[in-house]
Structure 1
Amino acid sequence: MTFTGDPNSAPVLPTAEEAAVAKISSRALESHLQNHPSGESLKLILNEKEGKTIDIPAAALPLLLAILQQTSSGNTVKLIPLTKELDIWQVATILNVDREYVWQLLDDGEIPYKMVQSCRRIRYEDVMKYKKQDYDKRSKILDELVAESEALGLYD
């Protein structure tokens, strides 16, 4: 898999050799993550003779693992960064809803936002907080439905 450095270029499929290397690397990284769940960073050796290394932060390791797993399957990966402040389209993608629904959530005060010129900007943390609250609310409702069904003898 070749990265051209140009963010507008199309991702390139990995060669068979790159996929094989990615498979070995993904297995090693997966093993490391299973054995070190505390979130340790990794040191990557760039040049063993010169002793050049870089640290890869723990937060990046699950993403790196996913990239290696996709590469090992012969797939390519394109990263789309999520900034601290999101636009309506990004929020809709995260929540898996349409833009109109996001506008309604914002208008109803369900998710706070700020105006930057004529655009609404929503903090990533606020979107994830809403998503968790919505999930918890839905889970509670489902638990209540199951309990009611059991009480009525409709659920085995």
Structure 2
Amino acid sequence: MTRYPDDDLQLPSSDESAQAREASQALAQLLEQPGGTVRVSDGVGSSVFELPTSAAKMLLRILSEMASGNAITLMPVHAELTTQEAADLLNVSRPYLVKLLEKGDIPYRKVGTHRRVLVSDLLDHKERRRVEQKRDLEELTAIAVDHDMGY
């Protein structure tokens, strides 16, 4: 995972993982209820507010990762990344990412001599690749079926 200078990225302790597991289970139950509204209180009822459903779902994902002992980081989709950070996000080498940028597969802009890539453009590319891979796998499966290869 990419580490950013302002992140305090560290693995959760075993106590934090256990707390996250309990909280994620409770939050999942709240989200399953009709309406899916999540109300947060300080326990004595004086500080109450509602979480938007989308925020509660994101919090559930965060808690689930923590419960598994994983460190996570949040990043706005409009954030710009360096080529190394972008390559890390896609789990590819930086030279391969630069080739994708130069081919026009992923938009970027230059800041001086440095390339910057939007997180949203990286996520779009990742989704396009997933769709292409699924389509290719379905084609291969159809060919295998046509040729009676045991599928």
TM-score by length of 2: 0.73
Q: 1:90 to 1:82 in 2, by over 3 A?
A: farther
Q: CA deviation at 1:7?
A: 4.5
d(CA) in 1 for partners of 2:37, 2:83: 33
Identity %: 26
Contact 1:22–1:72, Cα closer than 8 Å, also in 2: yes
Q: Does 1:81 align with 2:72?
A: no
2:22 equivalent in structure 1? 24
1:111 equivalent in structure 2? 106
Contact 1:46–1:52, Cα closer than 8 Å, also in 2: yes
1:120 equivalent in structure 2? 115
d(CA) in 2 for partners of 1:25, 1:60: 15
Which amino acid in 2 is paired with 1:79?
Answer: T
1:13 equivalent in structure 2? 13
Q: CA deviation at 1:126?
A: 1.4
Q: Does 1:44 align with 2:40?
A: yes
Q: 1:119 to 1:35 in 2, by over 3 A?
A: farther
Contact 1:149–1:155, Cα closer than 8 Å, also in 2: yes
Q: CA deviation at 1:125?
A: 1.9
CA RMSD of aligned residues (A): 3.0
Counterpart secondary structure, 2:117:
strand
Partner deviation per Cα, 1:120-139 (whole Å, 9 max, x = no partner) = 11122211111111111121
d(CA) in 1 for partners of 2:83, 2:58: 24
Q: CA deviation at 1:9?
A: 7.7
Counterpart secondary structure, 1:44:
strand
Q: CA deviation at 1:82?
A: 4.8
Higher relative contact order (CA 8 A, sep 6+): 2
Contact 2:77–2:119, Cα closer than 8 Å, also in 1: yes
Partner deviation per Cα, 1:131-156 (whole Å, 9 max, x = no partner) = 11111112111111111111111133
TM-score by length of 1: 0.71
Contact 1:13–1:76, Cα closer than 8 Å, also in 2: no
Q: Tell me how many residue pairs correspond in the alignment.
A: 145
d(CA) in 1 for partners of 2:10, 2:127: 34
